[in-house]
C-alpha cells in the first residue's frame, strides 16, 4: 500500500471518528434533553396529582366536618326535645297525681255526676250503661235523677244503669248504649289527654321561652 493510500485511509478513519463523535455527542445531548423534558413532565404531573389529591382531601374534610356538624346539631335538638318532653311529662304526671287526690274528696262526687250527665247527653239518650272504676262503682250515684234530667233536656226517654264491667281509670265515666254502638269516654284520663294537646303549646311557652 502506497503512502498516498495510507494517508487517504487515515483521513477517512479520522473523518469517520469525528463524525461518529459528533453523532454520539448529539445523541447524548438529545438524550439528556429528552430525559430532562421527561423529568420535568413527570414532575409537573406529580405536582398536579398532588394538588388534585390535596384539593380532593380538602373537599372530603369539609364534607366530613359539615356532616358531623349537621349530625351534632340534629342530635342536640333531639336531646333538647327529649328533655322538654320529660319536663312536660312530669308536669302532666303532677296534674294526674292531683286528680287522683281530687277523687278522694267530697267535691268529686258532684263532678262525677256531671261527667256522667254530659256523657249521657253526648250519646243522645236511650238505654245507657255507665262504666266506672272499682272505687266509683261502690258509690251511691243518683242515676235515676241524672236519667230524668237527661230525658228532660233531650226529649228522649233515657235510663242509666251501672255496668258490671269495671274500667281502669283515675275517675270519671264511660257511657255507652246497651248495644255498644255509641260510646262516650268522659273519664278524667281521657279528658286530661284531650286537654294536653291544647295545653302543651301554652305550657311550653311558659316553661321554655326566654
Q: What confidence tens digit (pLDDT) does each residue in 89-112 have?
A: 787 788 788 888 889 988 999 999
Fold of the 103-208 domain: hypothetical protein PF0899 fold (3.30.2320)
Q: What confidence tens digit (pLDDT) does each residue in 35-83 have?
A: 677 777 777 776 776 677 767 766 766 777 677 767 767 766 676 666 6
Domain-wise residue ranges, the chain: 103-208
CA distance 79 to 89: 15
What is the pLDDT at residue 142? Answer: 95
Amino acid at each position: 500500500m502506497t503512502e498516498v493510500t495510507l494517508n487517504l485511509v487515515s483521513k477517512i478513519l479520522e473523518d469517520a471518528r469525528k463524525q461518529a463523535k459528533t453523532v454520539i455527542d448529539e445523541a447524548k445531548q438529545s438524550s439528556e434533553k429528552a430525559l430532562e423534558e421527561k423529568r420535568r413532565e413527570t414532575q409537573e404531573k406529580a405536582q398536579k396529582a398532588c394538588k388534585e389529591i390535596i384539593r380532593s382531601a380538602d373537599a372530603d374534610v369539609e364534607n366530613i366536618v359539615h356532616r358531623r356538624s349537621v349530625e351534632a346539631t340534629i342530635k342536640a335538638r333531639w336531646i333538647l326535645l327529649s328533655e322538654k318532653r320529660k319536663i312536660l311529662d312530669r308536669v302532666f304526671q303532677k296534674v294526674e297525681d292531683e286528680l287522683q287526690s281530687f277523687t278522694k274528696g267530697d267535691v268529686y262526687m258532684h263532678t262525677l255526676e256531671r261527667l256522667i250527665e254530659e256523657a249521657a247527653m253526648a250519646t243522645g239518650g236511650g238505654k245507657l250503661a255507665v262504666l266506672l272504676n272499682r272505687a266509683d262503682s261502690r258509690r251511691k250515684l243518683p242515676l235515676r235523677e241524672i236519667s230524668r234530667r237527661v230525658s228532660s233536656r233531650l226529649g228522649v226517654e233515657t235510663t242509666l244503669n251501672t255496668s258490671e264491667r269495671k274500667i281502669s281509670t283515675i275517675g270519671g265515666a264511660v257511657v255507652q248504649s246497651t248495644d255498644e254502638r255509641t260510646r262516650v269516654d268522659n273519664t278524667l284520663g281521657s279528658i286530661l289527654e284531650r286537654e294536653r294537646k291544647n295545653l302543651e303549646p301554652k305550657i311550653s311557652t311558659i316553661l321554655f321561652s326566654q
